[in-house]
């Protein structure tokens, strides 16, 4: 439903900083009835097929292009018509990968327009954006120990060691359980590693000098202990970020901290070994971003363990790449990062394709985050059973805190989530 209150009256961009101290763009969209504000995050391990974050001149040029190009074209557009807002953004940019205005600019404008419309119509953002009949609270997929590009030298080669509860009535209890695992794991690392100084990576996860398998064993131990304490079954997963390990010239995965290399077959076998040994519930990017065939083989073999195989760099929230993966059954889950593709409309197209294929869409943060909590609303609105947004740090907690507030305010509209059916051995 449109209203004169939702007509866009102004669009303003500014430079702010993300959690890594990098410049990023924040957008305010004003309507007659209110205003929306959204900030763009930034990833460190980016997929090859993501849109361009910014034009060549960086954030400063992006801000200038909002003033010169974006605002004039969006004045008078109805912010409640998300498809039209996003169509205009594509028209302004005119490239396949948002290289003219920047994908981060497009995302922040798109999301700010959605919030402006929601406020103008007097609706919560998640209900204004809602695409499905039922709304379910997403379960947290939290990074408690990190390596790879998110941590320093000597940390595990695998990028993220994750915990997730299989089900929960309230987001508060699920998030509290993840925090407990993080805290217990920190104490365990202090006890077992004399040189551990309490260092953390980009996402607030512990960053010890330790091998990947030893790290995984400690995370599983902590998750099992907290599971017994809180009465929620907490499973463990990995984000391998294999494209960061892949040496295309030598056709091997390089595990620098371990001093090992693995070819494609050995990498697949290694992933299956970890899944079986540690009863993993989730493995993201186990192979590099062009290996659809390897993903499909691993997904088929991992099904007997009830483990989700998730593509991030493989799909980059791009509907065309996702549908190519669906045709070969490359994965059972997909990471959803709106700034990988640019607009909310593009994001929904990817989520909708995933849902229609029976896949699990995972709404995800980036390693360089802001305290913008709108990812929580997107997860609710688009039916994402999981939200991956770290555990510790204000920029991570902001998403969970927003979910806590929303569930408290609209208990009758939000159903609990049970991931167990997706984790049954096939």
Domain at 4-122, CATH from 3.20.20.70, 3.40.50.2300, 3.30.390.10, 3.30.70.260 = 3.30.390.10
- For 178, 255, 403, the CA distances from 375, given in Å and listed in that order, are 18, 32, 10
User: What does 23-62 look like in DSSP terms, one character per residue?
Assistant: EEEEEEEEESS-EEEEE--B-SS--TTSPPSS-TTHHHHH
pLDDT at 43 over 90: no
**Nearest Cα residue to 206 out of 192, 42, 312:** 192
Q: pLDDT band at 1, cuts 50/70/90?
A: very low
User: b/e for 191-221, b at 16 or more Cβ within 10 A?
Assistant: eeeeebeeebbbbbbbbbbbbbbebbebbbe
Contact between 42 and 54 under an 8 Å Cβ cutoff? The reply is no
Q: What is the pLDDT of residue 19?
A: 94
- In whole angstroms, give the CA distance from residue 252 to residue 267: 9
Q: Which of 152, 97, 143 is nearest to 386 (CA)?
A: 143
Instruction: Give CATH superfamily name and number for 135-423.
Output: Enolase-like C-terminal domain (3.20.20.120)
pLDDT 10s digits, 312-358: 999 999 999 999 999 999 999 999 999 999 999 999 999 999 999 99
Angle at 44 (CA atoms; ends 236, 186), nearest 5 degrees = 40
Split at pLDDT 50, 70, 90, the class of 191 is very high
Q: Which of 119, 200, 337, 374 is catalytic?
A: 337
Mean pLDDT for all residues in the chain: 95
Determine whether 337 is an active site residue: yes
Block residue for tokens 């007509």: 7
Q: Which residue has the tokens 């008078």?
A: 76
301-340 as b/e, with b when 16 or more CB fall inside 10 Å? bbbebbbbbbbbbbbbbbbebbbebbeebbbbbbbbbbbb
Residue 154: what pLDDT? 80
Q: What percent of the chain has pLDDT over 90?
A: 94
Q: Which residue has the tokens 């205005």?
A: 101
With 0-12 / 13-18 / 19 or more C-beta atoms within 10 angstroms meaning exposed / middle / buried, residue 344 is: buried
- The dihedrals phi and psi of 394, each to the nearest 5 degrees, come to -60, -35
| pTM score | 0.96
Q: Which residues contact 339 (CB under 8 A, 6 or more apart)?
A: 40, 41, 42, 51, 53, 103, 104, 107, 366
Is pLDDT at 206 greater than 60 in this prediction?
A: yes
Query: Helix crossing, 103-121 with 374-381: angle to 10°?
Result: 80
pLDDT at position 2 is 52
**60-76: per-residue pLDDT in tens?**
999 999 999 999 999 99
Residue 367 has pLDDT above 90, yes or no: no
Check residue 45 and give its pLDDT: 63
The domain segmentation of the chain, as residue ranges, is: 4-122, 135-423
Average the pLDDT over each of 104-118, 268-282, 375-389, 411-425 and give the range with the smallest value.
Answer: 411-425
- Catalytic pick among 50, 52, 203, 297: 203
Q: Which two tokens stand for residue 338?
A: 């709106």
Q: pLDDT at residue 387 above 80?
A: yes
Percent of the chain with pLDDT over 70: 98
At residue 213, the pLDDT reads 96
**Chain segment 19-38, per-residue pLDDT in tens:** 999 999 999 999 999 999 99
Whether the per-residue pLDDT at 8 is higher than 80: the answer is: yes
Report the pLDDT value the prediction gives residue 148, as an integer from 0 to 100: 87
Q: Report the distance separating Cα 221 and Cα 311, nearest Å.
A: 26
User: Per-residue pLDDT averaged across 233-256, rounded?
Assistant: 96
pLDDT in tens, 96-148: 999 999 999 999 999 999 999 999 999 999 999 999 999 999 999 999 999 98
Determine how many CB atoms are found less than 10 A away from the CB of residue 177: 25
Q: What is the pLDDT of residues 138-185, one digit of tens each?
A: 999 999 999 987 677 789 999 999 999 999 999 999 999 999 999 999
């Amino acid at each position: 439903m449109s209203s004169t209150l939702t007509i866009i009256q102004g669009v303003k961009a500014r430079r702010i900083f993300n959690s890594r101290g990098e410049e990023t763009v924040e957008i305010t969209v004003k309507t007659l009835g209110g205003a929306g504000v959204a900030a763009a995050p930034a990833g460190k391990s980016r997929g090859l097929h993501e849109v361009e974050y910014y034009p060549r001149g960086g954030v400063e040029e992006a801000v200038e292009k909002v003033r010169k190009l974006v605002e004039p074209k969006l004045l008078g557009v109805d912010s409640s018509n998300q498809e039209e807002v996003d169509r205009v953004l594509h028209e302004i940019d005119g490239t396949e990968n948002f290289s003219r205005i920047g994908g981060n600019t497009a995302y922040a404008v798109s999301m700010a327009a959605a919030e402006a419309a929601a406020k103008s119509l007097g609706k919560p953002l998640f209900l204004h954006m809602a695409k499905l009949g039922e709304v379910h609270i997403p379960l947290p997929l939290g990074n408690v120990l990190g390596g790879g590009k998110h941590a320093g030298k000597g940390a595990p080669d695998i990028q993220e060691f994750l915990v997730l509860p299989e089900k929960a009535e309230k987001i508060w209890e699920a998030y509290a359980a993840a925090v407990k695992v993080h805290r217990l794991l920190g104490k365990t690392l202090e006890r077992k590693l004399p040189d551990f100084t309490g260092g953390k990576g980009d996402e607030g996860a512990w960053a010890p000098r330790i091998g990947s398998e030893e790290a995984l064993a400690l995370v599983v131990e902590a998750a099992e202990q907290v599971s017994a304490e809180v009465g929620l079954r907490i499973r463990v997963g990995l984000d391998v970020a294999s494209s960061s390990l892949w040496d295309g010239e030598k056709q091997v995965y390089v595990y620098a901290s371990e001093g090992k290399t693995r070819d494609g077959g050995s990498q697949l076998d290694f992933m299956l070994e970890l899944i079986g040994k540690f009863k993993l519930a989730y493995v993201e990017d186990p192979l590099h971003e062009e290996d659809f065939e390897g993903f499909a083989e691993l997904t088929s073999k991992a099904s007997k363990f009830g483990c989700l195989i998730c593509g991030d760099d493989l799909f980059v929230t791009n509907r065309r790449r996702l549908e190519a993966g669906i045709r070969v059954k490359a994965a059972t889950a997909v990471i959803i990062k709106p700034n990988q593709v640019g607009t909310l409309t593009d994001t929904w197209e990817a989520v909708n394709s995933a849902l229609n294929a029976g896949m699990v869409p995972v709404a995800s943060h980036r390693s360089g985050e802001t305290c913008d909590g709108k990812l929580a609303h997107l997860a609710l609105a688009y039916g994402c059973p999981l939200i991956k947004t770290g555990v510790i740090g204000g920029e991570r907690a902001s998403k969970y805190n927003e979910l806590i507030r929303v569930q408290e305010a609209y208990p009758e509209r939000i159903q609990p989530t049970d991931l167990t059916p997706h984790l049954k051995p096939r």
